[in-house]
A and B are shown apart, each in its own frame.
Chain A
Protein backbone atom coordinates (compact mmCIF):
# COMPACT_ATOMS: atom_id res chain seq x y z
CA UNK A 1 0.00 0.00 0.00
CA UNK A 2 1.39 3.39 -1.03
CA UNK A 3 -0.27 6.61 0.10
CA UNK A 4 0.52 10.12 -1.13
CA UNK A 5 -0.61 13.01 1.07
CA UNK A 6 -0.64 16.48 -0.49
CA UNK A 7 0.43 19.27 1.85
CA UNK A 8 0.15 23.01 1.39
CA UNK A 9 1.59 25.82 3.46
CA UNK A 10 -0.89 28.50 4.51
CA UNK A 11 -0.89 31.54 6.77
CA UNK A 12 -1.91 30.83 10.36
CA UNK A 13 -5.68 30.97 10.95
CA UNK A 14 -5.27 34.18 12.98
CA UNK A 15 -2.99 35.95 10.45
CA UNK A 16 -3.85 39.53 9.54
CA UNK A 17 -5.07 39.65 5.96
CA UNK A 18 -3.47 42.58 4.12
CA UNK A 19 -1.99 43.14 0.68
CA UNK A 20 1.03 44.94 -0.81
CA UNK A 21 2.36 45.94 -4.24
CA UNK A 22 -0.79 47.75 -5.24
CA UNK A 23 -2.97 44.97 -3.78
CA UNK A 24 -1.46 42.26 -5.97
CA UNK A 25 0.41 40.33 -3.26
CA UNK A 26 -0.48 38.96 0.18
CA UNK A 27 1.48 40.86 2.87
CA UNK A 28 3.64 38.16 4.44
CA UNK A 29 5.38 40.39 7.03
CA UNK A 30 5.02 38.88 10.48
CA UNK A 31 2.85 36.04 9.18
CA UNK A 32 3.25 32.63 10.83
CA UNK A 33 3.03 29.77 8.35
CA UNK A 34 1.33 26.50 9.15
CA UNK A 35 0.39 23.27 7.40
CA UNK A 36 -3.03 23.86 5.86
CA UNK A 37 -5.34 22.55 8.64
CA UNK A 38 -7.39 20.31 6.29
CA UNK A 39 -4.17 18.73 5.01
CA UNK A 40 -2.76 18.24 8.50
CA UNK A 41 -5.60 17.45 10.89
CA UNK A 42 -7.68 15.30 8.62
CA UNK A 43 -5.78 14.00 5.62
CA UNK A 44 -2.27 13.50 7.03
CA UNK A 45 -3.38 12.21 10.44
CA UNK A 46 -5.81 9.72 8.85
CA UNK A 47 -3.03 8.47 6.56
CA UNK A 48 -0.75 8.06 9.59
CA UNK A 49 -3.48 6.05 11.33
CA UNK A 50 -3.76 3.78 8.27
CA UNK A 51 0.01 3.22 8.39
CA UNK A 52 -0.17 2.47 12.12
CA UNK A 53 -2.76 -0.20 11.37
CA UNK A 54 -0.71 -1.66 8.53
CA UNK A 55 2.98 -0.84 9.11
CA UNK A 56 3.93 -2.07 5.63
CA UNK A 57 2.19 1.03 4.24
CA UNK A 58 4.50 3.50 2.52
CA UNK A 59 3.47 7.08 3.26
CA UNK A 60 4.86 9.96 1.21
CA UNK A 61 4.13 13.65 1.64
CA UNK A 62 4.12 16.04 -1.29
CA UNK A 63 4.12 19.79 -1.64
CA UNK A 64 4.42 22.06 -4.67
CA UNK A 65 6.31 25.10 -3.42
CA UNK A 66 9.62 26.91 -3.14
CA UNK A 67 12.26 26.19 -0.47
CA UNK A 68 10.39 28.42 2.00
CA UNK A 69 7.96 25.51 2.50
CA UNK A 70 10.69 23.19 3.85
CA UNK A 71 10.01 23.96 7.55
CA UNK A 72 6.33 23.13 7.00
CA UNK A 73 7.16 19.84 5.29
CA UNK A 74 9.55 18.95 8.16
CA UNK A 75 6.76 19.71 10.62
CA UNK A 76 4.47 17.38 8.69
CA UNK A 77 7.17 14.68 8.70
CA UNK A 78 7.40 15.11 12.49
CA UNK A 79 3.80 13.92 12.68
CA UNK A 80 4.52 10.92 10.47
CA UNK A 81 5.32 9.69 6.98
CA UNK A 82 8.38 8.05 5.48
CA UNK A 83 9.61 10.74 3.16
CA UNK A 84 8.61 13.99 1.53
CA UNK A 85 8.79 15.29 -1.99
CA UNK A 86 8.84 18.96 -2.85
CA UNK A 87 8.19 19.97 -6.43
CA UNK A 88 10.26 23.11 -6.70
CA UNK A 89 7.70 25.49 -8.22
CA UNK A 90 5.74 28.50 -7.12
CA UNK A 91 2.29 28.82 -8.65
CA UNK A 92 -1.18 29.99 -7.71
CA UNK A 93 -2.87 28.23 -10.61
CA UNK A 94 -4.64 25.06 -9.53
CA UNK A 95 -4.23 23.33 -12.91
CA UNK A 96 -0.47 23.88 -12.82
CA UNK A 97 -0.22 22.54 -9.25
CA UNK A 98 -2.53 19.58 -9.95
CA UNK A 99 -0.43 18.65 -13.01
CA UNK A 100 2.69 18.53 -10.83
CA UNK A 101 0.95 16.34 -8.23
CA UNK A 102 -0.46 14.02 -10.91
CA UNK A 103 3.02 13.65 -12.40
CA UNK A 104 4.52 12.59 -9.04
CA UNK A 105 1.54 10.31 -8.35
CA UNK A 106 1.93 8.61 -11.74
CA UNK A 107 5.64 7.96 -11.26
CA UNK A 108 5.17 6.69 -7.70
CA UNK A 109 2.25 4.32 -8.46
CA UNK A 110 0.32 5.33 -5.37
CA UNK A 111 -2.82 3.44 -4.36
CA UNK A 112 -4.31 6.40 -2.58
CA UNK A 113 -3.93 10.16 -2.91
CA UNK A 114 -5.25 12.34 -0.07
CA UNK A 115 -5.78 16.09 -0.25
CA UNK A 116 -7.41 18.50 2.19
CA UNK A 117 -10.88 19.73 1.17
CA UNK A 118 -9.43 23.18 0.45
CA UNK A 119 -6.64 25.48 1.57
CA UNK A 120 -7.65 28.18 4.03
CA UNK A 121 -6.00 30.91 1.93
CA UNK A 122 -7.13 30.30 -1.66
CA UNK A 123 -10.26 28.22 -0.77
CA UNK A 124 -10.07 26.48 -4.14
CA UNK A 125 -11.33 22.94 -3.33
CA UNK A 126 -9.84 22.17 -6.73
CA UNK A 127 -6.69 20.10 -6.44
CA UNK A 128 -8.20 16.71 -5.56
CA UNK A 129 -10.69 16.76 -8.42
CA UNK A 130 -8.13 17.89 -10.95
CA UNK A 131 -5.58 15.31 -9.86
CA UNK A 132 -8.22 12.55 -10.06
CA UNK A 133 -9.16 13.64 -13.57
CA UNK A 134 -5.54 13.84 -14.73
CA UNK A 135 -4.96 10.32 -13.34
CA UNK A 136 -8.35 9.09 -14.61
CA UNK A 137 -9.21 7.79 -11.12
CA UNK A 138 -12.43 7.88 -9.10
CA UNK A 139 -12.70 10.86 -6.76
CA UNK A 140 -14.59 11.16 -3.50
CA UNK A 141 -14.69 14.76 -2.26
CA UNK A 142 -15.39 16.09 1.24
CA UNK A 143 -14.84 12.76 2.98
CA UNK A 144 -15.57 12.64 6.71
CA UNK A 145 -14.60 8.98 7.27
CA UNK A 146 -12.26 6.61 5.49
CA UNK A 147 -11.60 2.92 6.14
CA UNK A 148 -9.75 0.26 4.21
CA UNK A 149 -10.48 -3.41 3.93
CA UNK A 150 -7.80 -4.90 1.72
CA UNK A 151 -7.97 -2.83 -1.45
CA UNK A 152 -11.57 -1.68 -0.95
CA UNK A 153 -12.20 1.67 0.68
CA UNK A 154 -15.36 2.55 2.59
CA UNK A 155 -15.84 6.29 2.59
CA UNK A 156 -18.40 8.58 4.17
CA UNK A 157 -18.84 11.89 2.40
CA UNK A 158 -20.83 15.02 3.07
CA UNK A 159 -23.95 15.62 0.99
CA UNK A 160 -26.45 18.48 1.37
CA UNK A 161 -28.37 17.82 4.54
CA UNK A 162 -26.64 14.58 5.48
CA UNK A 163 -24.03 12.04 4.51
CA UNK A 164 -23.52 9.21 2.05
CA UNK A 165 -21.51 6.03 2.53
CA UNK A 166 -19.82 4.54 -0.54
CA UNK A 167 -17.37 1.83 -1.49
CA UNK A 168 -14.65 2.00 -4.11
CA UNK A 169 -11.65 -0.07 -5.07
CA UNK A 170 -8.18 1.46 -4.96
CA UNK A 171 -6.55 3.38 -6.58
CA UNK A 172 -8.51 6.44 -5.57
CA UNK A 173 -8.27 10.18 -4.86
CA UNK A 174 -10.00 11.53 -1.74
CA UNK A 175 -10.38 15.04 -0.32
CA UNK A 176 -10.60 15.07 3.46
CA UNK A 177 -12.40 17.20 6.00
CA UNK A 178 -13.48 17.25 9.62
CA UNK A 179 -14.40 13.87 11.03
CA UNK A 180 -11.59 11.92 9.30
CA UNK A 181 -9.24 12.11 12.27
CA UNK A 182 -8.40 14.14 15.35
CA UNK A 183 -5.62 16.72 15.44
CA UNK A 184 -2.24 15.50 16.76
CA UNK A 185 0.73 17.32 18.23
CA UNK A 186 4.15 16.06 17.10
CA UNK A 187 6.22 14.54 19.93
CA UNK A 188 9.97 15.01 20.49
CA UNK A 189 10.82 11.66 18.92
CA UNK A 190 8.87 12.63 15.83
CA UNK A 191 10.51 16.05 15.61
CA UNK A 192 14.03 14.56 15.97
CA UNK A 193 13.23 11.79 13.49
CA UNK A 194 11.86 14.23 10.91
CA UNK A 195 15.29 15.86 10.56
CA UNK A 196 16.78 12.76 8.98
CA UNK A 197 13.81 11.69 6.86
CA UNK A 198 14.45 12.20 3.13
CA UNK A 199 13.07 15.38 1.58
CA UNK A 200 13.48 15.02 -2.17
CA UNK A 201 13.38 18.15 -4.27
CA UNK A 202 12.30 17.59 -7.87
CA UNK A 203 11.96 20.10 -10.68
CA UNK A 204 8.47 20.76 -12.08
CA UNK A 205 7.08 19.08 -15.18
CA UNK A 206 6.06 21.27 -18.09
CA UNK A 207 2.52 22.48 -17.45
CA UNK A 208 0.18 25.26 -18.50
CA UNK A 209 -0.93 28.07 -16.23
CA UNK A 210 -4.56 28.84 -17.02
CA UNK A 211 -5.38 31.55 -14.46
CA UNK A 212 -3.59 34.46 -12.82
CA UNK A 213 -4.46 36.71 -9.89
CA UNK A 214 -5.01 40.27 -11.09
CA UNK A 215 -5.43 41.69 -7.59
CA UNK A 216 -6.95 41.41 -4.15
CA UNK A 217 -9.48 43.50 -2.30
CA UNK A 218 -10.81 43.62 1.23
CA UNK A 219 -14.56 43.59 1.92
CA UNK A 220 -16.08 46.93 2.93
CA UNK A 221 -15.95 47.52 6.68
CA UNK A 222 -19.14 46.87 8.68
CA UNK A 223 -21.03 49.97 9.78
CA UNK A 224 -20.80 48.88 13.40
CA UNK A 225 -23.08 46.99 15.71
CA UNK A 226 -26.46 48.35 16.78
CA UNK A 227 -26.90 47.32 20.41
CA UNK A 228 -30.35 46.54 21.76
CA UNK A 229 -30.97 46.58 25.54
CA UNK A 230 -31.11 43.09 27.08
CA UNK A 231 -34.47 43.81 28.70
CA UNK A 232 -36.14 44.51 25.36
CA UNK A 233 -35.35 41.64 22.92
CA UNK A 234 -38.66 42.33 21.16
CA UNK A 235 -36.96 45.42 19.71
CA UNK A 236 -34.41 43.13 18.00
CA UNK A 237 -37.22 41.17 16.40
CA UNK A 238 -38.85 44.43 15.25
CA UNK A 239 -35.57 45.64 13.69
CA UNK A 240 -34.95 42.32 11.95
CA UNK A 241 -38.45 42.48 10.54
CA UNK A 242 -38.81 46.18 9.66
CA UNK A 243 -35.25 47.45 9.14
CA UNK A 244 -33.16 44.47 8.04
CA UNK A 245 -36.23 42.80 6.47
CA UNK A 246 -34.85 39.34 7.13
CA UNK A 247 -37.67 37.76 9.15
Chain B
Protein backbone atom coordinates (compact mmCIF):
# COMPACT_ATOMS: atom_id res chain seq x y z
CA UNK B 1 0.00 0.00 0.00
CA UNK B 2 1.11 3.58 -0.51
CA UNK B 3 -0.01 7.19 -0.62
CA UNK B 4 0.21 8.54 -4.18
CA UNK B 5 0.59 12.28 -4.75
CA UNK B 6 -0.22 13.90 -8.09
CA UNK B 7 2.46 16.45 -9.04
CA UNK B 8 0.97 19.30 -11.06
CA UNK B 9 3.41 21.00 -13.39
CA UNK B 10 3.19 23.86 -15.86
CA UNK B 11 5.75 24.33 -18.61
CA UNK B 12 8.04 21.84 -16.92
CA UNK B 13 7.95 23.44 -13.47
CA UNK B 14 6.37 21.86 -10.41
CA UNK B 15 3.70 24.12 -8.92
CA UNK B 16 4.01 25.34 -5.35
CA UNK B 17 0.63 23.77 -4.56
CA UNK B 18 2.15 20.39 -5.44
CA UNK B 19 5.00 20.88 -2.95
CA UNK B 20 2.28 21.36 -0.32
CA UNK B 21 0.58 18.19 -1.54
CA UNK B 22 3.90 16.29 -1.44
CA UNK B 23 4.55 17.37 2.16
CA UNK B 24 0.98 16.48 3.12
CA UNK B 25 1.12 13.09 1.39
CA UNK B 26 4.50 12.20 2.94
CA UNK B 27 3.23 13.07 6.42
CA UNK B 28 0.09 11.03 5.84
CA UNK B 29 2.15 8.06 4.64
CA UNK B 30 4.25 8.25 7.82
CA UNK B 31 1.05 8.44 9.89
CA UNK B 32 -0.31 5.33 8.12
CA UNK B 33 3.01 3.47 8.23
CA UNK B 34 3.28 3.27 4.44
CA UNK B 35 5.41 5.04 1.83
CA UNK B 36 4.72 8.12 -0.25
CA UNK B 37 4.99 7.86 -4.02
CA UNK B 38 4.13 10.44 -6.66
CA UNK B 39 3.14 10.68 -10.30
CA UNK B 40 3.96 13.43 -12.78
CA UNK B 41 2.78 13.74 -16.38
CA UNK B 42 4.41 15.40 -19.38
CA UNK B 43 7.81 16.97 -19.99
CA UNK B 44 9.50 18.14 -16.79
CA UNK B 45 12.61 20.32 -16.76
CA UNK B 46 13.10 20.23 -13.00
CA UNK B 47 15.17 17.64 -11.15
CA UNK B 48 12.46 15.26 -10.02
CA UNK B 49 14.73 13.19 -7.77
CA UNK B 50 15.30 16.31 -5.64
CA UNK B 51 11.60 16.27 -4.70
CA UNK B 52 12.59 13.46 -2.35
CA UNK B 53 13.38 16.14 0.20
CA UNK B 54 9.63 16.54 0.74
CA UNK B 55 9.43 12.92 1.85
CA UNK B 56 8.38 11.15 -1.35
CA UNK B 57 10.27 7.89 -2.03
CA UNK B 58 9.42 7.13 -5.65
CA UNK B 59 8.18 9.24 -8.55
CA UNK B 60 6.41 7.65 -11.51
CA UNK B 61 7.06 9.80 -14.55
CA UNK B 62 4.92 9.47 -17.68
CA UNK B 63 6.91 11.68 -20.01
CA UNK B 64 4.72 11.33 -23.12
CA UNK B 65 4.71 14.83 -24.62
CA UNK B 66 1.04 14.67 -25.61
CA UNK B 67 0.50 15.13 -21.87
CA UNK B 68 1.84 18.68 -22.01
CA UNK B 69 -1.73 19.80 -22.66
CA UNK B 70 -4.20 19.14 -19.90
CA UNK B 71 -7.21 16.93 -20.53
CA UNK B 72 -9.05 15.67 -17.45
CA UNK B 73 -10.24 12.50 -19.19
CA UNK B 74 -6.83 11.48 -20.57
CA UNK B 75 -4.96 12.44 -17.38
CA UNK B 76 -7.37 10.45 -15.22
CA UNK B 77 -6.68 7.34 -17.30
CA UNK B 78 -2.93 7.77 -16.82
CA UNK B 79 -3.14 8.55 -13.10
CA UNK B 80 -5.31 5.45 -12.61
CA UNK B 81 -2.44 3.37 -14.08
CA UNK B 82 -0.03 5.02 -11.64
CA UNK B 83 -2.42 4.12 -8.78
CA UNK B 84 -2.09 0.48 -9.85
CA UNK B 85 1.70 0.73 -10.28
CA UNK B 86 2.10 2.24 -6.81
CA UNK B 87 -0.56 -0.03 -5.29
CA UNK B 88 -1.92 3.17 -3.72
CA UNK B 89 -4.94 3.30 -1.45
CA UNK B 90 -4.82 7.06 -0.85
CA UNK B 91 -4.39 9.60 -3.66
CA UNK B 92 -3.58 13.26 -2.95
CA UNK B 93 -4.20 16.20 -5.29
CA UNK B 94 -3.96 19.92 -4.74
CA UNK B 95 -7.44 21.43 -4.88
CA UNK B 96 -6.19 23.86 -7.52
CA UNK B 97 -7.57 24.40 -11.02
CA UNK B 98 -6.50 21.05 -12.49
CA UNK B 99 -6.94 19.18 -9.21
CA UNK B 100 -10.59 20.23 -9.21
CA UNK B 101 -11.03 18.53 -12.58
CA UNK B 102 -8.95 15.42 -11.81
CA UNK B 103 -9.73 14.40 -8.23
CA UNK B 104 -13.49 13.84 -8.80
CA UNK B 105 -12.89 11.97 -12.08
CA UNK B 106 -10.32 9.66 -10.51
CA UNK B 107 -12.53 9.14 -7.44
CA UNK B 108 -15.47 8.11 -9.63
CA UNK B 109 -13.27 5.80 -11.69
CA UNK B 110 -11.82 4.06 -8.61
CA UNK B 111 -15.10 4.23 -6.69
CA UNK B 112 -13.14 6.04 -4.02
CA UNK B 113 -14.61 8.35 -1.40
CA UNK B 114 -13.54 11.93 -2.11
CA UNK B 115 -12.87 14.94 0.09
CA UNK B 116 -11.98 18.17 -1.71
CA UNK B 117 -10.85 21.31 0.09
CA UNK B 118 -8.99 19.41 2.81
CA UNK B 119 -7.64 21.74 5.50
CA UNK B 120 -5.61 19.35 7.66
CA UNK B 121 -4.16 15.84 7.82
CA UNK B 122 -6.79 13.11 8.21
CA UNK B 123 -7.62 11.85 11.67
CA UNK B 124 -6.95 8.12 11.39
CA UNK B 125 -7.37 7.27 15.08
CA UNK B 126 -10.86 5.91 14.43
CA UNK B 127 -11.61 5.45 10.75
CA UNK B 128 -10.43 8.05 8.24
CA UNK B 129 -11.82 11.54 8.84
CA UNK B 130 -10.74 14.58 6.82
CA UNK B 131 -11.38 18.17 7.87
CA UNK B 132 -12.50 20.32 4.95
CA UNK B 133 -13.67 23.88 4.50
CA UNK B 134 -17.39 24.32 3.85
CA UNK B 135 -19.77 27.28 3.54
CA UNK B 136 -17.09 29.16 1.60
CA UNK B 137 -14.63 29.11 4.47
CA UNK B 138 -17.15 30.04 7.16
CA UNK B 139 -17.02 26.54 8.72
CA UNK B 140 -15.32 23.15 8.59
CA UNK B 141 -16.84 19.71 8.10
CA UNK B 142 -15.20 16.53 9.32
CA UNK B 143 -15.89 14.01 6.59
CA UNK B 144 -15.43 10.28 7.06
CA UNK B 145 -14.28 8.37 3.98
CA UNK B 146 -15.69 4.85 4.19
CA UNK B 147 -14.32 3.26 1.00
CA UNK B 148 -11.09 1.20 0.69
CA UNK B 149 -9.51 3.73 -1.72
CA UNK B 150 -9.55 7.39 -0.74
CA UNK B 151 -8.98 10.58 -2.73
CA UNK B 152 -8.15 13.91 -1.08
CA UNK B 153 -7.74 17.33 -2.70
CA UNK B 154 -5.78 19.67 -0.41
CA UNK B 155 -6.65 23.38 -0.28
CA UNK B 156 -3.82 25.49 -1.71
CA UNK B 157 -1.89 27.46 0.92
CA UNK B 158 -3.44 25.47 3.79
CA UNK B 159 -0.47 23.24 4.55
CA UNK B 160 3.10 24.33 5.21
CA UNK B 161 5.77 23.01 2.86
CA UNK B 162 8.50 21.16 4.79
CA UNK B 163 11.73 20.11 3.16
CA UNK B 164 14.25 17.75 4.73
CA UNK B 165 16.88 15.47 3.23
CA UNK B 166 16.41 12.76 0.67
CA UNK B 167 16.30 11.83 -2.97
CA UNK B 168 13.41 10.14 -4.73
CA UNK B 169 13.76 7.23 -7.11
CA UNK B 170 12.44 8.38 -10.50
CA UNK B 171 10.88 5.60 -12.56
CA UNK B 172 9.54 5.95 -16.09
CA UNK B 173 5.98 4.66 -16.20
CA UNK B 174 5.05 3.27 -19.57
CA UNK B 175 1.36 4.08 -19.43
CA UNK B 176 -1.27 3.86 -22.14
CA UNK B 177 -2.25 7.40 -23.13
CA UNK B 178 -5.61 7.80 -24.85
CA UNK B 179 -6.08 10.36 -27.61
CA UNK B 180 -7.42 13.67 -26.27
CA UNK B 181 -10.87 14.79 -27.40
CA UNK B 182 -10.23 18.33 -26.18
CA UNK B 183 -8.01 20.42 -28.43
CA UNK B 184 -6.29 23.43 -26.87
CA UNK B 185 -6.27 26.26 -29.40
CA UNK B 186 -4.98 29.18 -27.35
CA UNK B 187 -3.31 29.89 -24.00
CA UNK B 188 -3.46 33.42 -22.62
CA UNK B 189 -1.17 33.86 -19.63
CA UNK B 190 -0.95 37.05 -17.70
CA UNK B 191 2.82 37.33 -17.72
CA UNK B 192 5.00 39.04 -15.18
CA UNK B 193 2.38 38.84 -12.47
CA UNK B 194 2.04 36.51 -9.52
CA UNK B 195 -0.92 34.11 -10.10
CA UNK B 196 -3.63 35.03 -7.62
CA UNK B 197 -4.30 31.48 -6.45
CA UNK B 198 -0.64 30.88 -5.58
CA UNK B 199 0.18 34.32 -4.16
CA UNK B 200 1.35 34.57 -0.57
CA UNK B 201 0.42 38.25 -0.43
CA UNK B 202 -2.59 39.79 -2.16
CA UNK B 203 -3.38 43.50 -2.48
CA UNK B 204 -7.02 44.04 -3.32
CA UNK B 205 -9.05 47.11 -4.25
CA UNK B 206 -12.76 47.92 -4.09
CA UNK B 207 -15.23 50.59 -5.09
CA UNK B 208 -13.58 52.98 -2.64
CA UNK B 209 -10.88 53.52 -5.25
CA UNK B 210 -13.43 55.37 -7.40
CA UNK B 211 -12.15 54.29 -10.82
CA UNK B 212 -9.76 52.05 -12.76
CA UNK B 213 -7.34 54.96 -13.25
CA UNK B 214 -6.55 54.82 -9.53
CA UNK B 215 -5.20 51.28 -9.55
CA UNK B 216 -1.63 52.47 -10.03
CA UNK B 217 -0.97 52.57 -6.28
CA UNK B 218 -2.50 49.10 -5.80
CA UNK B 219 -0.21 47.73 -8.48
CA UNK B 220 2.80 49.56 -7.10
CA UNK B 221 2.23 48.24 -3.58
CA UNK B 222 1.65 44.73 -4.97
CA UNK B 223 4.84 44.93 -7.00
CA UNK B 224 6.89 46.01 -3.96
CA UNK B 225 5.49 43.13 -1.88
CA UNK B 226 5.73 40.53 -4.72
CA UNK B 227 2.00 40.27 -4.31
CA UNK B 228 -0.87 39.52 -6.67
CA UNK B 229 -3.62 42.07 -7.25
CA UNK B 230 -7.30 41.30 -6.71
CA UNK B 231 -10.60 43.14 -6.55
CA UNK B 232 -14.13 42.96 -5.18
CA UNK B 233 -17.14 41.87 -7.24
CA UNK B 234 -18.59 45.36 -8.00
CA UNK B 235 -15.22 46.39 -9.40
CA UNK B 236 -15.11 43.40 -11.76
CA UNK B 237 -18.79 43.85 -12.68
CA UNK B 238 -18.19 47.40 -13.94
CA UNK B 239 -15.03 46.18 -15.72
CA UNK B 240 -12.59 48.37 -13.80
CA UNK B 241 -10.58 45.17 -13.40
CA UNK B 242 -10.67 41.79 -15.23
CA UNK B 243 -13.03 39.09 -13.95
CA UNK B 244 -10.19 36.76 -13.03
CA UNK B 245 -9.15 39.20 -10.28
CA UNK B 246 -12.54 38.97 -8.54
CA UNK B 247 -12.23 37.31 -5.16
CA UNK B 248 -15.30 36.43 -3.12
CA UNK B 249 -18.04 33.89 -2.83
CA UNK B 250 -18.79 33.76 -6.56
CA UNK B 251 -15.28 34.63 -7.69
CA UNK B 252 -12.04 33.06 -6.61
CA UNK B 253 -11.60 31.87 -3.03
CA UNK B 254 -8.05 32.56 -1.86
CA UNK B 255 -6.03 31.88 1.27
CA UNK B 256 -2.88 34.01 1.14
CA UNK B 257 -0.69 34.66 4.16
CA UNK B 258 -1.49 38.36 3.94
CA UNK B 259 -4.56 39.99 2.38
CA UNK B 260 -4.61 43.78 2.15
CA UNK B 261 -8.08 45.15 1.35
CA UNK B 262 -8.21 48.75 0.22
CA UNK B 263 -11.55 50.52 -0.18
CA UNK B 264 -13.53 47.29 0.24
CA UNK B 265 -16.38 47.38 2.75
CA UNK B 266 -16.31 43.62 3.35
CA UNK B 267 -19.74 42.32 2.38
CA UNK B 268 -20.29 38.78 3.66
CA UNK B 269 -19.94 37.46 0.08
CA UNK B 270 -16.50 39.06 -0.23
CA UNK B 271 -15.40 37.74 3.17
CA UNK B 272 -16.38 34.23 2.10
CA UNK B 273 -13.65 34.33 -0.53
CA UNK B 274 -10.86 35.68 1.65
CA UNK B 275 -11.59 34.59 5.22
CA UNK B 276 -9.00 31.80 5.07
CA UNK B 277 -6.23 34.42 4.72
CA UNK B 278 -3.84 34.22 7.66
CA UNK B 279 -3.52 37.97 8.25
CA UNK B 280 -6.05 40.52 6.98
CA UNK B 281 -5.38 44.26 6.72
CA UNK B 282 -8.28 46.61 6.02
CA UNK B 283 -7.95 50.21 4.89
CA UNK B 284 -11.29 51.98 4.66
CA UNK B 285 -12.50 55.47 5.44
CA UNK B 286 -15.77 54.16 6.92
CA UNK B 287 -15.15 53.04 10.53
CA UNK B 288 -18.42 51.06 10.33
CA UNK B 289 -17.21 48.96 7.37
CA UNK B 290 -17.98 45.33 8.30
CA UNK B 291 -14.55 44.26 7.08
CA UNK B 292 -12.90 45.66 10.24
CA UNK B 293 -14.62 42.89 12.26
CA UNK B 294 -12.75 40.26 10.22
CA UNK B 295 -9.45 42.15 10.12
CA UNK B 296 -6.25 41.73 12.12
CA UNK B 297 -4.98 45.23 11.37
CA UNK B 298 -6.93 48.24 10.23
CA UNK B 299 -6.56 51.87 9.29
CA UNK B 300 -9.62 54.10 9.25
CA UNK B 301 -8.63 56.63 6.65
CA UNK B 302 -8.69 57.81 3.06
CA UNK B 303 -6.92 55.28 0.82
CA UNK B 304 -5.59 58.07 -1.39
CA UNK B 305 -3.67 59.51 1.58
CA UNK B 306 -2.84 56.29 3.43
CA UNK B 307 -1.66 53.99 0.61
CA UNK B 308 1.08 56.30 -0.78
CA UNK B 309 2.49 56.55 2.77
CA UNK B 310 2.42 52.75 3.10
CA UNK B 311 4.27 52.50 -0.22
CA UNK B 312 6.93 54.91 1.11
CA UNK B 313 7.32 52.89 4.32
CA UNK B 314 7.59 49.59 2.41
CA UNK B 315 10.21 51.12 0.09
CA UNK B 316 12.20 52.18 3.15
CA UNK B 317 11.85 48.71 4.68
CA UNK B 318 12.96 46.98 1.49
CA UNK B 319 15.69 49.48 0.81
CA UNK B 320 14.16 50.58 -2.50
CA UNK B 321 14.85 54.13 -3.52
Q: List residues of A whose CB falls within 8 A of some B CB.
A: 11, 13-14, 17, 19, 37-38, 41, 93-95, 98, 117, 120-134, 136-142, 144, 154, 158-169, 177-179, 208-219, 222-223, 225-231, 233-234, 236-241, 244, 246-247
Contacts and interface: CB of A to CB of B under 8 A. Distances in A.
B142 interface: yes
B261 to A, nearest CB: 12
Interface stretch (B19-27, B36-44, B166-174, B190-198): B190-198
B287 to A, nearest CB: 9
A130 B100 contact: no
B225 A132 contact: no
B100 A129 contact: yes
Contacts of A223: 296
Nearest to B310: A233
Looking at A38, A166, A177, A217, the one whose CB has the most chain B CB atoms below 10 A away is A166
Contacts of A98: 104, 108
9 contacts: A120-B249, A129-B102, A160-B15, A179-B243, A225-B292, A225-B296, A225-B298, A229-B299, A233-B306
A171 to B, nearest CB: 10
B128 to A, nearest CB: 10
Contacts of A218: 138-140
Given A95-B114, A226-B297, A216 B97 contact: no
A236 B299 contact: yes
A183 B249 CA distance: 15
Contact of B189 (A123, A162, A227): A162
Interface of B: 10, 15, 70-73, 76, 95-98, 100-109, 111-117, 129, 131-147, 181-190, 193, 195-198, 201, 225, 236, 243-244, 246, 249-251, 253, 257-258, 268-269, 272, 275, 278-279, 281-282, 292-302, 305-307, 309-310, 312-314, 316-317
Given A121-B135, A123-B133, 19 more contacts: A37-B249, A126-B103, A133-B105, A138-B72, A141-B97, A161-B189, A161-B196, A162-B244, A167-B183, A168-B182, A168-B183, A210-B107, A212-B143, A212-B146, A230-B302, A233-B299, A240-B297, A241-B317, A244-B297
A132 to B, nearest CB: 6
Looking at A134, A237, A238, the one whose CB has the most chain B CB atoms below 10 A away is A237
B269 to A, nearest CB: 5
B81 to A, nearest CB: 15
Given A160-B15, A179-B243, A213-B142, A126 B107 contact: yes
Nearest to B96: A160
B193 A132 contact: no
B114 A227 contact: no
B97 A158 contact: yes
Contact of A159 (B97, B117, B132, B310): B97
B185 A166 contact: yes
Contact of B100 (A141, A163, A209): A141
A19 B198 CA distance: 32
Nearest to B305: A230
Contact of A132 (B72, B189, B250, B302): B72
Contacts of B129: 214
